[in-house]
Amino acid sequence: MKKFTAILLILVMMFSLSACGAKADEGSSDALPTIGVTIYKYDDNFMSFVRRAIETKAEGKATLEMNDSQNSQATQNDQVDTMISKGAKALAINLVDPQAASAIIEKAKKADLPVIFFNKEPETSVLASYDKAWYVGTASAEAGVIQGELIANAWKANPEWDRNGDGVMSYVLLKGEPGHPDAEARTKYSVETIVEAGIQVEELELQTGMWDSVKGKELMDAWIAKHGDAIEMVICNNDGMALGAVQSLNASGYFDDGKFMPVVGVDAIPDVLEQIKAGKMVGTVLNDAKNQGGATFDLALNVANGKDPLDGTEWTLDEGKAVRVPYVAVTIDNIEFAEEAYK
């Protein structure tokens, strides 16, 4: 009898264990596809919002292998190899060096894996070289045009900004990473648009602050020391550098006792929206992190599941296989709109 009870007990235990196992499997992430993601460096203000958008959208739908490429293309290449060997079903790549897209495509091709590039746009011909490669980002030039229009309108509405009254806008420009399509296009089109609006300009300084607020502050410190009040406009390729410029201007006594300097950025990150509200920045251009991260994930999930990249989504691809999320001008007048976009 004792023996019988013992056997029964063992059988009951075995049954309940296997039932538990089945339950665990159903709910476990094993059932979800793995998507390998790289961010060119976690230490980038704007990209931290894109990353968050990807992570939020992935909840319950995919397992993410998220990598910080630490601003090193060699590191990123290794990470891609590891993700492939670990069985990722799709790759979502924020390149360190936009020129490295072909090397990543070679790896993806060999493993027959689809790849979604985002934020740093590969050359069109490189993207076209692999039928399983797509891009999610923006139309880089658009931010420059919108920023230029915003600056031209504000300049015309505030004649006192022309401090020396010579009818010329003397500007300094903090450029993003050279060779980055966003940095090149924003630099070109912002100034061109101001000129097209009939405003004469003089470039006092143009240097790269590498998208970074510390570098932006250092450059602005040096420019204030050199040019002082001769600077009449601070144009920044992104908000990170704009924040650095504002910090520098603050320390030099601007935004106090009626002393003002117009600063304009791109991204509309929450810290900059605060500066606009405080009257320390004129405006920015919304670079929609939530939708860029969202679209990157939607496409990556679809292709990881063997579906068409746009299946069940509202996104559209242009002739260059790119989803382009629009930019929007942001000033104090529509600040709530930008706040919503970053929630």
The only residue of 216, 240, 262, 294 in contact with ligand BGC, by rule CB under 6 A: 240
DSSP3 helix / strand / coil % (the chain, rounded to 5): 50, 20, 30
Q: Does 296 bind ligand BGC (CB under 6 A)?
A: no
Nearer to ligand BGC by Cβ, of 46 and 254: the residue is 46
Burial code (b: 16+ CB inside 10 Å, e: under 16) for 131-151 equals ebbbbbbbbbbbbbbbbbbbb
Q: Does 169 bind ligand BGC (CB under 6 A)?
A: no
Nearer to ligand BGC by Cβ, of 190 and 287: the residue is 287
Element (H, E) at 206: strand 200-208
Q: Does 47 bind ligand BGC (CB under 6 A)?
A: yes
Nearer to ligand BGC by Cβ, of 241 and 304: the residue is 241
Across the beta sheet with 133-137, the strand order is 63-68, 34-39, 90-93, 115-118, 133-137, 322-324
Residue list 177-206, contact with ligand BGC (CB under 6 A): 180, 182
Q: How many residues bind ligand BGC (CB under 6 A)?
A: 13
Q: Does 142 bind ligand BGC (CB under 6 A)?
A: no
Query: At CA 217, angle to CA 213 and CA 218, rounded to 5?
Result: 120
Q: Look up tokens 């596809």; give the residue.
A: 33
Q: Nearest distance from residue 137's CB to ligand BGC, in Å? A: 7
Q: Of 200, 206, 187, whose CA–CA distance to 152 is shortest?
A: 200
Q: Which stretch binds ligand BGC (CB under 6 A): 41-49, 62-70, 144-152, 161-169?
A: 41-49
Q: Does 211 bind ligand BGC (CB under 6 A)?
A: yes
Q: Of 341, 301, 340, 312, whose CA–CA distance to 325 is shortest?
A: 341
Would you tell me which residues interact with ligand BGC (CB under 6 A)?
Answer: 44, 46-47, 119-120, 180, 182, 211, 238, 240, 266-267, 287
